[in-house]
Amino acid sequence: MSASPPSRPSPRRLAGRALSLCLAVVGFLLLARGVAASNAAVGLGQASRDPLSVPRWLYVATGGVTIGASALLASFVTDRRFVLSIHRWHETLPDWESAYRAGTLALNALGLVLLALVVYRGLVGPQIPTVNLAVVFVFAGMRAGLTMFAYLVGNPWPALNPWRAVAERLPNGFLDYPEALGRWPAVAGLLALVWVETTTPVTSDPSLLAAAVGGYSVLTVVGAVAVGVDDWFGNVDPVSVFFAFYGRAAPLSWSDGRPRLHLPGMRLVGDDGYGDDESAAPTWGMDDVAFAVALVWELTYSGFVTTAQGGAAVRALVGVGLPPAVVYGGLYLAGFAAFYGAYALAARASASRLRTYREARELAVRFAPALLAIAAGYHLAHYFAFFVSLSPSLFTVLASPLSVPPNPLVLTLPAWMGGLNIAFVLGGHLLAIWVAHSTAYRLFPSRLQAIESQYPFVFVMMAYTAISLWLISLPTAPPPFLP
Amino acid sequence: MNPEERRDERKASRESGPNGEASSMTETTRGATDRRTEPNADAVSNPPESYACRVCGRAFPESRLLVLHRGVRHANALTDGEKEAYVEAYREEEAELHSFRIRALAVLVVLYFGVLFLYIGFAG
């Protein structure tokens, strides 16, 4: 076919693009300045001579407006080729096949050693959470550090996973995994694990944590041997699915044993139909949507119950006569249902507003990866400071795992770290906006439809941002009624 | 005219096959395998207002959308008439996008000054 495309963009187009980029940057900086100012005000909330105190609702609204305005600015980018080139860009790095094999074996061994250490030190080590290897490694190392590595660099869990290393070397796959279950077991598992983390003393009682990890190991290996390694770790094991989902936001991935570098978050935009990368866009279902929403929700929930206001809400509900466990459980499940419902409603609104035969379900599934960028931003906001302040303890316990560290060191962080949290939350949302924009251009032949299809999702994202910014602005307190 | 998109398609087809025709075939097969069948079912159930793509079978509620779809997805399989229709539809859409950009800019200005005045009124 013979249209004659110019070999490169015309000067006029370039100028237009530069202008819209400038607009985007200026607009964002103007809005971001407002947020930064409001953050300082929130941080100094009690200081009476504070020259600029911004009411909390205004700070929260500014965050929402930032997301909405960014979505509008993104909609100025209507050049399909540019959108495509951003998410398709990749470098295939040199082939390190032998290094990959050796590295996988070494990581397998490392994972097994660490699992043994967690159980052993948890049971016989000092029963003090800040110096016990089990607690420090599981929460500062895995929950915070390894998860950050999974979305900032690449997902090392498949190689590190000790349960997989064991189950793979045993005869496995005696039962057929029921396809109808999809990834729902992992959704339930993730919700259950976060529930255990929030309401039981696993974070403060090393021997309980060791027992829980031991029990989980037995369950996982037995399950993986029963239904087969791939089915178990792909659909049931919440830890593996957790890392795999976060890993999709990472720039580095392995394809055929070769590392491949994408722009951060751009692997979230699935390639449908033609293209070089079909395997990178697995067909998702509503179970995957639920898992992505659960990742966003669990961070919001653990943020909520650790604020003074969240504690007050729990106390008020308990005061009415409800048992604390019911209050925590009810808030947890009701909040998840609300987040999931809001997202599903957005998909329905998007499908019904457009003249298209694409169904709400398909739109929900296709736009869901954008939620992973949001979850990564929240995770960084919740765990970055925690990880940095505990990293000396982590290195101490890993350097001498069998001895008790004489003087555990916990860093005190400067106050401006609080401002970073706002940047992380907004950054995750801005990435999600671009992922949604790029996805919409893959779905709709009409560019106006592509723009309009995003509106309901943008509103949901604005709501998520507002809630999250509100939570990180509140003073923290230990949750009441919990051991 | 829409050179970018046609380039896209060419690039895609270069990646998927050695020559144009074979690659558009490949594209069709892939398109057919990873798409759900609902659109076709819809096409059968409401024939009066659905327009099915002859290459990949995906149905659209408006002929304009089908024309755009053909241009974006199957640039290599267009007849001259279809190409002309696509260029026409693309130009029309460009005009709509132009008016959209003006409205979006107006909303941005309102948002910006709205937030500014809120800060003047409430922060202090």
Mark yes or no for CB contact B31/A274 under 8 Å.
yes
Indicate whether B84 belongs to any domain: yes
Indicate whether B68 belongs to any domain: yes
Question: What is the residue range of A247's domain?
Answer: 61-473
Find residue A477's DSSP bridge partners. Answer: none
Q: From B43, which residue of chain A is nearest by alpha-carbon distance? A: A357
Mark yes or no for CB contact A449/B34 under 8 Å.
no
Nearest CB among B7, B107, B122 relative to A55 is that of B122
* Nearest-CA distance A274 → chain B (Å): 6
Mark yes or no for CB contact B97/A78 under 8 Å.
yes
**What local confidence, expressed as pLDDT, does residue A419 receive?**
83
CA dist list (Å): A287 to A224, A364, A365: 20, 11, 9
**Residue A434, SS3?**
helix
* Nearest-CA distance A362 → chain B (Å): 9
Contact A386, A302 (CB under 8 A): no
Number of domains in chain B: 1
Nearest CB among B61, B73, B123 relative to A357 is that of B61
* Nearest-CA distance A65 → chain B (Å): 7
Indicate whether A93 belongs to any domain: yes
Mark yes or no for CB contact A54/B119 under 8 Å.
yes
B21 sits in which H/E element: helix B20-34
Indicate if the pLDDT at residue A187 is higher than 90.
yes
* Nearest-CA distance B120 → chain A (Å): 10
Indicate whether A24 belongs to any domain: no
Average pLDDT, chain A: 83
- Residue A450 sits at the chain B interface (C-beta within 8 Å): no
**Residue A92, SS3?**
strand
**What local confidence, expressed as pLDDT, does residue A375 receive?**
94
Banded model confidence at residue B67, pLDDT cuts 50, 70, 90 = confident
Q: From B73, which residue of chain A is nearest by alpha-carbon distance? A: A445
CB atoms within 10 A of CB A387: 20
What would the mean pLDDT of A160-182 be, rounded to a whole number?
A: 90
Contacts A–B by Cβ distance under 8 A: 134
Indicate whether B114 belongs to any domain: no
Number of domains in chain A: 1
- Residue A84 sits at the chain B interface (C-beta within 8 Å): yes
Residue B30: which residues within 8 A CB-CB, separation 6 or more? Answer: A273, A274, A278, B16
* Nearest-CA distance A479 → chain B (Å): 32
Banded model confidence at residue A52, pLDDT cuts 50, 70, 90 = low
Collect all residues of chain A within an 8 Å Cβ-Cβ radius of residue B30: 273-274, 278
Which one, of A410, A408, A387, lies nearest residue A397 by Cα?
Answer: A408
Question: What is the residue range of B18's domain?
Answer: 3-99
Collect all residues of chain A within an 8 Å Cβ-Cβ radius of residue B59: 357
Indicate whether B113 belongs to any domain: no
Indicate whether B8 belongs to any domain: yes
- Residue that wins the pLDDT comparison between B36 and A92: A92
**What local confidence, expressed as pLDDT, does residue B49 receive?**
67
Indicate whether A52 belongs to any domain: no
Residue-wise pLDDT for A357-399, tens only, equals 888 888 898 899 999 999 999 999 989 988 998 898 888 888 8
Indicate whether A40 belongs to any domain: no
Indicate if the pLDDT at residue A28 is higher than 80.
no
Indicate if the pLDDT at residue B12 is higher than 80.
no
Indicate whether B109 belongs to any domain: no
Indicate if the pLDDT at residue A41 is higher than 50.
no
Nearest CB among A1, A27, A355 relative to B62 is that of A355
Banded model confidence at residue A127, pLDDT cuts 50, 70, 90 = confident
Radius of gyration of the CA atoms of chain A, in A: 23
% of chain A surpassing 70 pLDDT = 86
Nearest CB among A58, A283, A357 relative to B123 is that of A58
Sheet containing strand A258-262, edge to edge, reads: A90-92, A258-262, A252-255
Nearest CB among A6, A75, A272 relative to B34 is that of A272
Indicate if the pLDDT at residue A14 is higher than 80.
no
* Alpha-carbon gap, residue A474 to A43, rounded angstroms: 9
**Residue A260, SS3?**
strand
In one letter, which amino acid is B65? Answer: L
Indicate whether A50 belongs to any domain: no
CA dist list (Å): A384 to A145, A184, A216, B96: 8, 29, 27, 45
Indicate whether A462 belongs to any domain: yes
- Best of A446, A451, A453, A462 to disrupt the B interface (most B CBs within 10 Å) is A446
Mark yes or no for CB contact A52/B59 under 8 Å.
no
Banded model confidence at residue A316, pLDDT cuts 50, 70, 90 = very high
Collect all residues of chain A within an 8 Å Cβ-Cβ radius of residue B93: 446-448
* Nearest-CA distance B54 → chain A (Å): 15
**What local confidence, expressed as pLDDT, does residue B33 receive?**
35
Indicate whether B105 belongs to any domain: no
Within A326-368, strands assigned E span none
* Alpha-carbon gap, residue A319 to A10, rounded angstroms: 68
Angle, vertex CA A460, rays to CA A458 and CA A461, nearest 5? 60
**What local confidence, expressed as pLDDT, does residue A80 receive?**
84
Indicate if the pLDDT at residue B80 is higher than 80.
yes
Q: Which of residues 356-415 of A touch B (CB under 8 A)?
A: 356-359, 362
Indicate whether A341 belongs to any domain: yes
Using CB atoms within 10 Å of the CB of residue A406, give its burial: 0 to 12 exposed, 13 to 18 middle, 19+ buried.
exposed
B59 sits in which H/E element: strand B59-60
DSSP-assigned states of every residue in A11-26: HHHHHHHHHHHHHHHH
Nearest CB among B4, B64, B100 relative to A80 is that of B4
Contact A107, A160 (CB under 8 A): yes
Angle, vertex CA A415, rays to CA A413 and CA A419, nearest 5? 110
Nearest CB among A81, A274, A278 relative to B5 is that of A81
* Nearest-CA distance A140 → chain B (Å): 38
Indicate whether A242 belongs to any domain: yes
Contact A426, A465 (CB under 8 A): yes
**Residue A47, SS3?**
coil
Residue-wise pLDDT for A429-451, tens only, equals 999 999 999 999 888 888 988 99
Q: How many C-alpha atoms does A276 have within 13 Å on its Cβ side?
A: 16
Nearest CB among A1, A75, A84 relative to B104 is that of A75
